[in-house]
């Protein structure tokens, strides 16, 4: 299994419709027999009109399909923007043989510019000419914006004697921060999980994955994760062992894509993984982990391989709202301890830290010795290329 | 008047003591007849040992002097670091003829490296050979780290018929964010303001100035602002008109230096000023203003002159904890409105926005139409030079 359309009953593809100057920019995922679809959305006040539509669809029945365009986010576009969402959903519904309330809509790209709706509508005619294509990889390419690589994952587990598979795709490279930490992610799981439970499980998985990744601390107006459940396998989730196994599967798939997003952060050359252990609360653990991966000074030090671990200490303490006892903090770069009980540790750890920072995957661990809560966050280094990419996005 | 030593009874100078590889790195300010000294400090949990000493001094009597070194922050240095603060204060006190509890200590520079205390002590002998020098400008140079320019201000006002002057200096260029938004700032005012009142006034001034500036959202472990009051002029601050005039004078001096710090942000080419109007609360106004000046995507757009105003819209909405009604928001770049009542405004504002972004001082104004609270924040653009400066700080 490689892609979302390897899940039985899941169809997807993508085309170039001319919304972007070049490249694929329009995709669909269609799950005609979906028995449930769960969604998690950005908390930015300027949510795109498509998110309001999609949220409403999820509340009123089972979503069967999603239409995704890249190149234009249809955000901050007012009444005309809302009308364009309705036109898109109506047209796609007719071509798919479902209702407009069964078609989720997602848009990603520049903010504040009206969608070229005629081109999008013409594109839908071509895209949905055959809506049962098994081209998940092409769909994963069509949802990219500044991403350098398409992002897909497949995870499998045997739960109650049955082979359960989850497959997903995501895009996200800049304007990536909680809540939530990606722009778009779509999954399908071949287990008949009912709507309410599916929603709880996706939300939990997002909290440990997309909500724990930061490229630039900026929260997109277009973030969306959807998870379709197909009727293929019945599993009894009232058995807690089954529930935990299914939750683990969904969470792992989300973490896979979250890490790919961090690694493909705009201009990034390294994946930065931060683990904060033994915090007084889960919220403290998460905030500190995110403060470290989000700190421009930590990110530039990681980029340059500069063993300036004091910047991590700064980031651990920078939020006055979290509980930290400086005299109890331990700090590690990889396996190298550099700080112990409020004092620098060892003789010349800077050289060994510099070596840890040369790796493509940099791992920083903080032990607060205050409680029992742990969180993990993912980010990337900050390079001149990030600035280049973003000084002239148009 | 140009510098802090133009205030009667205020002495200062600086020298190169060898803490930095090159350049001046050790300064003093001495106000032997100070009748009060107020201080505001970083809220980072990893405060330098010198901050604990200085805070304790302020609580136990009137501080008469401050010794400032650049090149090493003496933070995260444990017991040895604390002992070095005591040695510095004791030595300086002897040379100045005061007690160690009357000598504030400040250190700024790399974190996690022990101070070269012998060099610092030898430097104090030279620096304080004559502790009544009127070389404020040299002191302002000696407290710089990555700053490209020294930062000084003088403000004057006639209050109750008397000429009141405040003069100050600051350093700060990176690791600049609330609380508080600078690393070091020192002021003297020639008005006999009692300790408690002086503390209240300085805290209020910092909230509108140093706490509203962000270069990189990273909060230093060494931030400190001190304000000395000299006995020269008596003003009756129980008269509310006098109080307001004195508060305004102190706030304006702090804002002067805050703007200089933002303009001299590491790698910055532009000053970014953001005004958020008519928020539901002062806290909302401040958070939104800081989210805009702190956004890497806004900062890169300002750097590149990219009229991508949607990024400001994103930043206005990104914090789920603040009240924003997207349908009521107005957005202006300089005098050019680009967004009105939740819709893009006008035909082709992108060209006009691009023109506004060409200026050295970029002004963004957001009207939330929700309440009556206004806040102003200052920041700078994000350039490749920022990354260059920070990938290899050592």
Residue of chain A whose Cα is closest to the Cα of B176: A297
Instruction: State in Å, rounded, how far the first CA of chain A is from the last one.
Output: 37
pLDDT digits (tens, 9 = 90+) for B339-374: 998 888 876 577 888 888 888 999 999 999 999 999
B51, B111, B112, best to mutate vs chain A, most A CBs in 10 Å:
B112
- B217 CA: distance to closest CA in chain A (Å): 7
CB contact under 8 A, B390 and A73: no
Q: Which residues of B touch A77 (CB under 8 A)?
A: 343-344
Q: pLDDT at position B220, please?
A: 61
Q: Which of B45, B175, B304 sits opposite A392 (nearest CB)?
A: B304
- The whole-number average pLDDT for the span A194-211 is 88
CB contact under 8 A, A76 and B310: yes
Q: Which of B80, B318, B390 sits opposite A219 (nearest CB)?
A: B318
Q: Which residues of A touch B379 (CB under 8 A)?
A: none
Distance CA A43, CA A61 (A): 22
Residue of chain A whose Cα is closest to the Cα of B305: A391
Please determine, for residue A367, whether its predicted confidence score (pLDDT) is greater than 90.
yes
Q: Which residues of B touch A325 (CB under 8 A)?
A: 45
Which residues neighbour A366 within 8 Å (Cβ) at sequence distance 6 or greater?
Answer: A274, A275, A276, A277, A288, A292, A312, A316, A329, A330, A331, A332
Looking at per-residue pLDDT, the higher value among A200 and A351 belongs to A200
Distance CA A329, CA A339 (A): 7
DSSP string over B254-309: HHHHHHHHHHTSTT--SEEEEEEEEESSHHHHHHHHHHHHH-HHHHHHHHHT---T
Q: Which residues of A touch B346 (CB under 8 A)?
A: none
Residue A221's pLDDT band, with cuts at 50, 70 and 90, is low
Residue A63's pLDDT band, with cuts at 50, 70 and 90, is very high
Selecting among B62, B77, B108, B182, the annotated active-site residue is: B182
CB contact under 8 A, A45 and B301: no
CB contact under 8 A, B111 and A344: no
Please determine, for residue A60, whether its predicted confidence score (pLDDT) is greater than 50.
yes
Residue of chain B whose Cα is closest to the Cα of A216: B296
CB contact under 8 A, B315 and A384: no
Distance CA A390, CA A388 (A): 5
Kindly state the DSSP code that residue A51 receives in the 8-state scheme: H
pLDDT digits (tens, 9 = 90+) for A96-151: 999 999 999 999 888 888 999 999 999 999 999 999 999 999 999 998 877 888 99
Residue A175's pLDDT band, with cuts at 50, 70 and 90, is low
Distance CA A184, CA A200 (A): 18
Could you tell me which of B275, B274, B291 has the C-alpha nearest to residue B373? B275
CB contact under 8 A, B45 and A344: no
Global pTM? 0.81
Q: Which of A219, A314, A392 sits opposite B46 (nearest CB)?
A: A314
Residue of chain B whose Cα is closest to the Cα of A300: B391
- The whole-number average pLDDT for the span A45-60 is 88
- A62 CA: distance to closest CA in chain B (Å): 28
CB contact under 8 A, A382 and B383: no
ipTM over 0.85? The verdict is no
Helices (H) and strands (E) in chain A, counts: 11, 15
Q: pLDDT at position B108, please?
A: 86
What's the Cα-to-Cα distance from B190 to each of A39, A358, B168, B327, rounded to whole Å? 62, 54, 12, 50
Residue of chain A whose Cα is closest to the Cα of B338: A112
- A323 CA: distance to closest CA in chain B (Å): 9
- B373 CA: distance to closest CA in chain A (Å): 19
Kindly state the DSSP code that residue B220 receives in the 8-state scheme: P
Mean pLDDT computed over every residue of chain B: 88
- The whole-number average pLDDT for the span B309-313 is 86
Q: Which two tokens stand for residue B78?
A: 């444990």
Q: pLDDT at position B181, please?
A: 38
Distance CA A146, CA A266 (A): 7
Q: pLDDT at position A182, please?
A: 45
Could you tell me which of B175, B43, B76 has the C-alpha nearest to residue A330? B76
Kindly state the DSSP code that residue B143 receives in the 8-state scheme: T
Count Cβ–Cβ pairs < 8 Å, chain A vs chain B: 223
Cβ-contact A233, A192 below 8 angstroms: yes
Kindly state the DSSP code that residue A324 receives in the 8-state scheme: -
Task: Return the residue matching tokens 């700078």.
Answer: B380
Q: Which of A110, A294, A344 sits opposite B77 (nearest CB)?
A: A344
Residue of chain A whose Cα is closest to the Cα of B299: A391
Selecting among A62, A88, A108, A182, the annotated active-site residue is: A182
Q: pLDDT at position A122, please?
A: 97
Q: Which of B73, B80, B297 sits opposite A174 (nearest CB)?
A: B297
Cross-strand partners of B109: B71
b/e burial code for range A306-315 (CB count within 10 A of at least 16 → b) = bbbbbbbbbb
CB atoms near residue A110 (< 10 Å): 16
Q: Which of A112, A174, A317 sits opposite B46 (nearest CB)?
A: A317
Residue of chain B whose Cα is closest to the Cα of A386: B384
Is B182 marked active-site? yes
Q: Which residues of B touch A220 (CB under 8 A)?
A: 314
Cβ-contact B189, B7 below 8 angstroms: yes
CB atoms near residue A332 (< 10 Å): 23
Q: pLDDT at position B90, please?
A: 97
CA A372 to chain centre: 27
Q: pLDDT at position A120, please?
A: 97
Q: Which residues of B touch A221 (CB under 8 A)?
A: 310, 313-314, 317
DSSP string over A129-191: SSTT-B-HHHHHHHT-SS-SS-EEEEEEEEETTEEEEEEEEEE-SSS--SSSS-SEEEEEEEE
Residue A329's pLDDT band, with cuts at 50, 70 and 90, is very high
Q: Is the bond into B179 cis (omega within 30 degrees of 0)? A: yes
CB contact under 8 A, A317 and B221: yes
């Amino acid at each position: 299994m490689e892609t979302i359309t390897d899940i039985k009953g899941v169809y997807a593809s993508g085309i170039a419709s001319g919304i972007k100057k070049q490249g694929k920019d329009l995709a669909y995922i269609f799950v005609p027999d979906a028995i449930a679809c769960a969604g998690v959305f950005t908390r930015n006040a300027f949510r795109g009109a498509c998110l309001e539509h999609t949220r409403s669809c999820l509340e009123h029945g089972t979503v069967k399909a999603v239409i995704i365009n890249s190149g234009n986010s249809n955000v901050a576009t007012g009444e005309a923007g809302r009308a364009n969402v309705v036109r898109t959903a109506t047209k796609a519904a007719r071509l798919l043989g479902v209702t407009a309330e069964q078609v989720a809509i997602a848009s990603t790209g520049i903010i504040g510019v009206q969608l070229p709706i005629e081109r999008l509508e013409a594109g839908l005619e071509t895209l949905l000419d055959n809506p049962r294509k098994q081209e998940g990889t092409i769909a994963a390419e069509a949802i990219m914006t500044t991403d350098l690589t398409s992002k897909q994952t497949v995870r499998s587990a045997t739960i109650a004697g049955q082979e359960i598979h989850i497959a997903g795709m995501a895009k996200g490279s800049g304007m990536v921060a909680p809540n939530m930490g990606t722009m778009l992610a779509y999954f399908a799981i071949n287990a008949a999980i009912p709507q309410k439970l599916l929603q709880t499980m996706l939300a939990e998985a997002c909290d440990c994955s997309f909500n724990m990744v930061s490229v630039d601390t900026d929260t997109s107006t277009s973030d969306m994760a959807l998870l379709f459940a197909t009727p293929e396998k019945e599993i009894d989730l009232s058995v807690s062992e089954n529930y935990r196994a299914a939750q683990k599967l969904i969470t792992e798939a989300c973490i896979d894509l979250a890490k790919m997003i961090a690694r493909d952060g705009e201009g990034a050359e390294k994946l930065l993984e931060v683990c904060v252990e033994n915090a007084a609360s889960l919220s403290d653990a998460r905030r500190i982990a995110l403060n470290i991966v989000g700190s421009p000074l930590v990110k530039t030090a990681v980029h340059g391989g500069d063993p300036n671990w004091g910047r991590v200490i700064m980031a651990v303490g920078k939020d006055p709202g979290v509980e930290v006892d400086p005299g109890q903090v331990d700090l590690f770069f990889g396996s190298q301890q550099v700080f112990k009980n409020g004092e620098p540790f060892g003789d010349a750890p800077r050289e060994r830290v510099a070596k840890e920072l040369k790796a493509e995957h940099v791992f920083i661990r903080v032990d607060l010795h205050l409680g029992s809560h742990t969180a993990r966050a993912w980010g990337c280094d900050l390079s001149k290329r990030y600035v280049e990419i973003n000084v002239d996005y148009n």
